[in-house]
């Protein structure tokens, strides 16, 4: 009986751990504060500076599931510009790394959401680990 109880507890613990791994990831981008928070199942994991669209361009607002990932993406629209760790959420719009880190915290992009490369790598990894269907991007004014 004791062995059965220990085995049941081990299975339960394994099941709870697996559920946490499959948790939902949400990136909330605030255009007004130029920040992105990342939560897992509602718990804050990260808060980072971003750059969204500069004057003359638009970062769309809304809520989307992540559509696809591209580790070493290059823009077909903007002169083959590098977009490392791209997490695409709405057509050609993505959260991705930038080498122009001095502009983080203020509008500077053509519409994508730019992050420090180390932060972009973390977000990319979270989306990859938890799955695209479990990763959401929410952009607000």
Instruction: Output the DSSP codes for 79-110.
Output: TT-EEEEEEEEETTEEEEE-S-GGGTTS--BS
Query: What's the average model confidence in pLDDT over 84-111?
Result: 98
Please give the Cα distance from 100 to 91 (Å, whole number). 23
Give the pLDDT confidence score for residue 19 in this predicted structure: 40
Contact at 8 Å (CB) between 134 and 22? yes
Given a cut of 80, whether residue 16 has pLDDT beyond it is: no
Reported confidence tier of residue 78, pLDDT bands at 50, 70, 90: confident
Total length of the chain = 141
Global confidence as pTM: 0.84
């Amino acid at each position: 009986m004791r062995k059965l109880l220990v085995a049941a507890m081990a299975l339960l613990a394994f099941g709870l751990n697996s559920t946490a791994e499959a948790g939902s990831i949400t990136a909330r981008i605030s255009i007004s504060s130029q920040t992105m928070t990342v939560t897992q199942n509602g718990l804050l994991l990260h808060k980072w500076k971003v750059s969204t669209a500069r004057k003359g361009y638009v970062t769309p607002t809304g809520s989307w599931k992540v559509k696809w990932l591209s580790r070493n993406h290059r823009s077909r629209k903007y002169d083959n510009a590098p977009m490392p760790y791209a997490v695409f959420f709405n057509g050609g719009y993505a959260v991705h790394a930038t080498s122009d880190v001095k502009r983080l915290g203020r509008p500077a992009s053509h519409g994508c959401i730019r992050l420090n490369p180390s932060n972009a790598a973390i977000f990319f990894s979270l989306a990859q680990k938890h799955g695209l269907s479990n990763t959401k991007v929410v952009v607000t004014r």
